Chain A
Amino acid sequence: MRGDQINLQNVIARSATTVPSPQVRHGGVEKVTKLIDVSVCIGCKACQVACSEWNDLRDEVGECDGTYNNPQDLTPESFEVMRFSEYENEQGNLEWLIRKDNCMHCAEPGCLKACPAPGAIVQYANGIVDFNSEHCIGCGYCVAGCPFDIPRISKKDNKAYKCTLCSDRVFNGLEPACVKSCPTSAIMFGTKEDMLDYGAGRVENLQERGYANAGIYDPAGVGGTHVVYVLQHADKPEIYSGLPKDPHISPTVELWKGVTKPIMSALLGASVLAGFFHYMIKGPKEEPEDDPDPEKAAQAREIDRREEDRP
């Protein structure tokens, strides 16, 4: 159903596609952003429930591992999870850091770069990175490409899944389901500009309250993200259940999917042409004829005869 509703005329980037995507209808489209204010989150998981409900996801009820993390990790049917970590700050006090983990919707998405299936991953003019699972071939390259370990491959249909930022709701002027459900306004949604503005105010507030290193997490290594965090300790994002400090597309992925591919492709074509033209210029090595000397030719035929007798 979602696929039918998507306006596919404002696609600014498309996986495995070397020509421009249809994007004339991107004029005036503002970049959207979801802001997650970790300092306000109470860990109620209403967003997880809203996500499952809106997206018609019914993940298996897992087991409790003794923490509040449930499910313990993202799955093909859990597009977001709350990650709880207990942090002891400089004053020796406990801080309960609860981070809503989901796709960051990078401006330079590693998943899209790695994907070999044309159009299986698209980036809309509003910044949302979406999996068009109908074109997904289940290779899992997006898993290798993602700097945040987000995509999950379903065992049911071998397709990759992740948070869509409720692209279907956003196209219809609604905020994502998680935003709608949040009781403390820890999740906000709007244009990127507005969210950074709002976030700056939140950071200021936190700094006044003594969180000297409070800041916005909008990592430049992936061109900025369309999901940003307000963190009390922006200097140490790793303490928030391993949020990467300087995420970027891995150099291995760059080497694998960068300029080397077209160059190698061209060289393969060139090698075939080189063979063709070598044949045209130098000609084949013709089957050697028998010796023109009749005596030697006779000897060869004699050997042939003997060879024939060989068992």
Chain B
Amino acid sequence: MSHSNVNKGILRYGWWSRTNHWIVAICFVLLTLSGLALFYPAFFGLTALFGGPEPTRIAHPYIGVFMSIFFLIQAVRFFTDNLFRRYDVQWVKHMPDMLSNRDDRLPAVGKNNAGQKAVYWIFLLTVPILLITGVVLWRPWIADGMPIWALRWAAMIHAFTAFIAIITLVIHVYSAIWVKGSVRAMTQGRVSHAWARHHHKLWYDDVVNNRDPEGQTRPQARTTTTPERPKEP
């Protein structure tokens, strides 16, 4: 059976969730590249991607503020899906099984597993810290009015927080490559029934039983040409 998820399967991320995610993702990658360029000399060559060293310094904070706005929107919309539940504890205890692809031993989870939730919370913590410390360091607009001790602390915290955020990004991207079918969920929106049942059983049960699952995961009308039909009782 094919898994052409555009036409078949369960809607996991609506068009705005996907768009929102990719706006944040593209900005995040640009921020990582431009930030690393100024993080350590070995990465300084990355400034070439942004038109030179000074343009890199100029662009970085603007991208950061832009991303923060869309990050906030996404964080609010994804909030309830990422509240930790009792089953998450069990899932974490089965980390070795999860990493070794012994998925049959994993407990059933909702729309997100504990790893995905951890990514959500780490970003929710790091992005505001990066925003605040980044604004303090922002030249020529803000930094001139800041005391030197604030510049020192902001620079130090910004670097360490960025490190945590980038490591989290690496894990997030790797997970998407590793778990087949998840990239398609975020690009085309839909996952196969088998995928949903396998990875997110509780969410799947909610969806097929037409219960309102956690948050904004209620199946929505497709944006394709499916004709309108009356809702089932």
Q: CB within 8 Å of B: which residues of A?
A: 16-18, 114, 116-118, 135, 137-141, 143-144, 146, 149, 153, 155, 158, 250, 252-253, 255-256, 260-262, 264-265, 267-268, 271-272, 275, 278-279, 282-291, 297, 300-301, 303-304, 306-311
Contacts and interface: CB of A to CB of B under 8 A. Distances in A.
Contact of B99 (A256, A261, A278): A278
B194 A144 contact: no
A18 B42 contact: yes
Contacts of A268: 36, 163, 166-167, 170
Given A138-B54, A265-B43, A271-B171, A287 B194 contact: yes
Contacts of B221: 311
Nearest to A254: B156
Contacts of A143: 143, 148, 151
Interface stretch (B12-20, B117-125, B225-233): B225-233
B148 to A, nearest CB: 6
A303 B103 contact: no
Interface in B13-43: 36, 38-43
B55 to A, nearest CB: 9
Interface residues on B, range: 35 or more
Given A253-B156, A268-B163, A285-B179, A137 B194 contact: no
A264 to B, nearest CB: 5
A137 B167 contact: no
Interface in B198-227: 198-199, 208, 219, 221, 226
B99 A149 contact: no
B156 A256 contact: yes
B152 A250 contact: yes
A176 B181 CA distance: 69
Given A153-B144, A252-B152, A137 B101 contact: no
Nearest to B45: A118
Given A144-B151, A307-B193, A311-B229, A284 B10 contact: no
Given A255-B156, A256-B155, A288-B198, A271 B193 contact: no
A18 B43 CA distance: 12
B171 to A, nearest CB: 7
Contact of B53 (A137, A149, A307, A311): A137
Interface string B169-193: 0110010011111000000000011
Contacts of A279: 174, 177-178
- Which one of A116, A262, A304 has the highest number of Cβ atoms from chain B below 10 Å of its Cβ? A116
